[in-house]
Amino acid sequence: MPYVALSILIPLFSSFSFSTGSIGDLLQEHGLPGGLLPKAVESFAHDPSSGLLEVLIGRPCYAWYEDGLSFFDREVRGNLSYGALQSVVGWSQEELFLWLPVKEIVIADSDSGVILFDIGVAHKRLPVSSFEDPPDCLPGAEEAAVEAGLGKAFSSRDNDNGKVLMWMVNCASLVTSGIRYQHLCSDISCHSFKNGMNDE
C-alpha cells in the first residue's frame, strides 16, 4: 500500500519546479516585473505544464505600492504565463474604501510600459515601473503606510479607532493617485491630509 501511494505522489510533485532562484527572477522570466509580489515570500512552486504558481508568504500582510494598499493572504495562487498572471487568489487591493480581489494581471504590450490589473469592477492601468522593486509586507495597514513614508501623516491619529486609520490610508491612496481620484477628496480631513503632504 505505501508503494501505491508513493507511485501516485511522485508524478504529482515532479510536475512542479521548486526554483532556487527568487520569485522576482521567475516573474521576469515570464515578462512581468520582478517586484510584483512582496519581499515576504518564503517559498514558491511553479508547474510549467499547467502554469500553476503557488506562493507562500510568511503571514497575511499589507504592502504599499505607488497606487495604494494591497493585502496578501498566507498563500497566493495564479496561472502564470508569459506577460500574465491569471485566476489570481489571495491578493486584494483597496479601492475607494473597499477591498477588491485582484483577478488578473497582464502586460499586453511590453513596449507600452503599462501593466493592467483586473479587480473585477474595473481594469487599472498602472506603470510597470511601480513594480520593479518588491515592497515590504507588514502585518498592519498602518505599518505599511509608515514604511511607504506616510508615518508623519498618521502620527496625530495613532490613538483613534481603526475606521479613522483606514480613512487616512484611503486618503493617502487617493492623494498619491490624485490624477484619477482627486475629485473624491472632498472631506476636510482628506484636504488637510493632502495639504500636510504638500507642505513637506
Residues 180, 185, 191, 193, CA torsion sign: negative
Q: How many CA atoms lie within 13 A of 120 on its CB side?
A: 12
If asked whether residues 74 and 122 sit together in one domain, one would say yes
**Segment (H or E) for 23:** helix 23-29
Mean of per-residue pLDDT scores for the chain = 75
Do 126 and 186 have their domain in common?
no
Per-residue pLDDT tens digits for 55-81 = 999 899 999 998 889 999 999 999 999
Q: Same domain for 116 and 149?
A: no
Q: How many domains does the chain have?
A: 2
119/174 same-domain check: no
- Is residue 47 domain-shared with residue 115, that is, in the same domain? yes
For position 99, which CATH number holds?
Answer: 2.30.240
Check whether residue 148 and residue 84 sit in a common domain. Answer: no
DSSP annotation of 171 reads: H
Inside any domain, residue 136: no
Q: Residue 6: pLDDT band by 50, 70, 90 thresholds?
A: very low
Nearest CA among 160, 129, 123, 115 for reference residue 142:
160
pTM, rounded to two decimals: 0.67
Please check whether residues 110 and 160 belong to one and the same domain: no
**50 and 109 part of one domain:** yes
Percent of the chain with pLDDT over 90: 50
Q: Is residue 190 part of a domain?
A: yes
pLDDT of residue 97: 82
> Which residue has better confidence, 178 or 109?
109
Domain that holds residue 116: 2-131
Maximum pairwise Cα distance, the chain: 71
What the block records as the C-alpha cell of 2 is 505505501
Considering the domain architecture, whether residues 127 and 157 belong to the same structural domain is answered as: no
- All three cell numbers of 181, joined, read 481620484
Crossing angle of the two packed helices 188-199 and 162-176, in degrees rounded to 10: 60
Tell me the percentage of the chain whose pLDDT exceeds 70.
61
Residue 163: what pLDDT? 39
Strand partners, 138: 62
Do 88 and 180 reside in the same domain of the chain?
A: no
Burial of 117 (0-12, 13-18, 19+ CB in 10 A): buried
Q: What is the mean pLDDT of residues 85-106?
A: 95
